[in-house]
Amino acid sequence: MSIVLIRSLYRQHRFIRQVPVVHKLHVNFSSDNKPKVSEVKSLVDTADKHKKYSRENVRLYVFTRFFDYIQNYDKVLEKNFPSAMHVYRVFMIGVKDFYADMKKFFKITTIANSRGIKALTRKEMELMHQTPKDIMKVAPVLLIAALPFANYVIFPIAYMYPRTFLTSHFWNLQQRVEFQELYLKDRTHYNRKIFRKLQERLDSTKLSRCHKEFNYVLGLLGSGLHPSSSEIIEIKDIFLHRPFHIDSLSSSHLTYLCKLHGIHTLYLKRVRLSEHCYMMHNMDLAIKNEGGVHNLSIDALTTACYLRGLNPVSLPQEEMIQWLQEWLTVSLNIGTEYISLYIHLPILLTYNHPNNWRLTHK
């Protein structure tokens, strides 16, 4: 009897649970107003669509929030790991800029090989001059970082010593100014040694018709002054013969000149100095062809001064223009045979400059 009662209650319970569904569909099952089958089907389809749209809305909401989170994940990391994210940004931006310069370099090299270096602009020549050095400097870091898990070690080390392991693509503005000044300080360290070499061989030029003028120029440098561009041009022939022709310079003299111009001294010092002179001379011609010194921007003037051995930090624009004009006056009035004079120009024009003097005596 109890089992029959339980079964009866269970059937009634199931029937009661189905009643709300019928009510929700608003269908009247009375005998007087029987629903059409199409109406019931339409109501069922509508309920199914509501359920479907509800699921899609939930799914869309979840994915939207997920993508927003992923999109702003770098901000989350930057908040929780600021140092790590800063290193990451430095390297990502640096690699991007470095890669862009490499693409330009290969394009410029193709133009130079087919049409000659004179077909390049001043800016392209500067890039062609600097990029090989940058590649040699940063390539080991990037190659090591490509090894499994090596980037976790090499990037922090490179970040700690950016001047040693990285190029200007990875430096901030303050580092660029600071490191360029330090590089120039390393270069100008050899000014006095080169000047002493010129003084040592002065007596060997007694038979030259320029001996008197050359002695006067060295006297100016020794007394804290500089010769003018016209006075330098007057002594140009003394660099065509012994003892100051490039083929007659001693090994130590060549080494000091390479250091002054930022060239490595392992081998072929004369060849490398000649190539450097040829490149710089063509940059001088490009400046002239592009409208002269006065058309250069502040950044272009600063770069030009650094390349030629003058410290431009805190130097007024007019003084940079005036000094660079003196350099160009000499450069554009000598031919390719005056290589030795050209590579000595930083001594003749910057040896006693106050900005360089401050740099070497810090």
Instruction: Give the C-alpha separation, 252 to 258, whole Å.
Output: 10
- 333 belongs to a structural domain: yes
> Is 185 or 33 the better-scoring residue by pLDDT?
185
Q: Note whether 158 and 206 are same-domain residues.
A: no
Q: What would the two tokens of residue 75 be?
A: 């901000």
Side chain identity at residue 67, one-letter code? F
Residues 6+ apart with CB under 8 A from 314: 355
Place of tokens 């999109």: 71
Residues 6+ apart with CB under 8 A from 294: 321
Task: Compute the average pLDDT of residues 20-43.
Answer: 48
DSSP state letters, 186-249: HHHTTHHHHHHHHHHTGGGGTTSTTHHHHHHHHHHHHTT----HHHHHHTGGGGSSTTTSTTTS
Q: Which among 73, 97, 53, 129 has a CA at the least distance from the CA of 281?
A: 129
Q: What would the two tokens of residue 271 be?
A: 């060849």
Residue 315: pLDDT band with limits 50, 70, 90: very high
Q: What would the two tokens of residue 191 be?
A: 């000014």
Long-range contact list for 54-57, CB < 8 A, 24+ apart?
none
Instruction: Region of 225 please: left (phi>0), alpha (psi -120 to 50) or beta.
Output: beta
Q: Note whether 10 and 129 are same-domain residues.
A: no
- 288 belongs to a structural domain: yes
Residues 6+ apart with CB under 8 A from 259: 186, 187, 189, 190, 265
Least confident residue range of 51-55, 194-198, 348-352: 51-55
> Is 338 or 9 the better-scoring residue by pLDDT?
338
Q: How many residues does the chain have?
A: 362
DSSP state of 352: T
Q: Note whether 165 and 90 are same-domain residues.
A: yes
Question: Helix, strand or coil for residue 116?
Answer: coil
Instruction: Give the C-alpha separation, 355 to 62, whole Å.
Output: 63
Instruction: Give the C-alpha separation, 103 to 112, whole Å.
Output: 14
Q: Note whether 231 and 315 are same-domain residues.
A: yes
- 176 belongs to a structural domain: no
What's the confidence (pLDDT) of residue 88? Answer: 78
Looking at the structure of the chain, the number of domains it has is 3
What's the confidence (pLDDT) of residue 38? Answer: 55
Q: Note whether 87 and 197 are same-domain residues.
A: no
Q: Note whether 342 and 237 are same-domain residues.
A: yes
Query: With 0-12 CB in 10 A as exposed, 13-18 as middle and 19+ as buried, what is 175?
Result: middle
Answer with the one of 49, 71, 93 that is the final residue of a domain: 71
- 198 belongs to a structural domain: yes
What residue numbers bound the domain in which 238 lies? 187-360
Q: Note whether 101 and 230 are same-domain residues.
A: no
- 56 belongs to a structural domain: yes
Q: Note whether 311 and 205 are same-domain residues.
A: yes
> Is 189 or 46 the better-scoring residue by pLDDT?
189
What are φ and ψ of residue 208, in 5° steps? -80, 145
Q: 33-64: string of b/e by CB count within 10 Å (b at 16+)?
A: eeeeeeeeeeeeeeeeeeeeeeeeeeeeeeee
pLDDT tens string 76-131: 545 655 676 777 788 888 989 999 999 999 999 999 999 999 999 999 999 999 99
Instruction: Give the C-alpha separation, 189 to 208, whole Å.
Output: 30
Task: Compute the average pLDDT of residues 54-59.
Answer: 63
- 177 belongs to a structural domain: no
Q: Note whether 192 and 56 are same-domain residues.
A: no
pTM of the predicted model as reported, rounded to 2 decimal places: 0.78
Instruction: Give the C-alpha separation, 241 to 225, whole Å.
Output: 26
Q: Note whether 196 and 271 are same-domain residues.
A: yes
Task: Compute the average pLDDT of residues 237-253.
Answer: 96
Q: What average pLDDT does the chain have?
A: 84
Q: Does residue 27 surpass a pLDDT of 70?
A: no
Query: With 0-12 CB in 10 A as exposed, 13-18 as middle and 19+ as buried, what is 274?
Result: middle
Least confident residue range of 22-36, 160-174, 202-216, 274-288: 22-36
Q: Note whether 355 and 266 are same-domain residues.
A: yes
Q: What would the two tokens of residue 44 be?
A: 């069922």
- 178 belongs to a structural domain: no
Least confident residue range of 218-222, 269-273, 323-327, 358-362: 358-362
Q: Note whether 37 and 140 are same-domain residues.
A: no
- 179 belongs to a structural domain: no
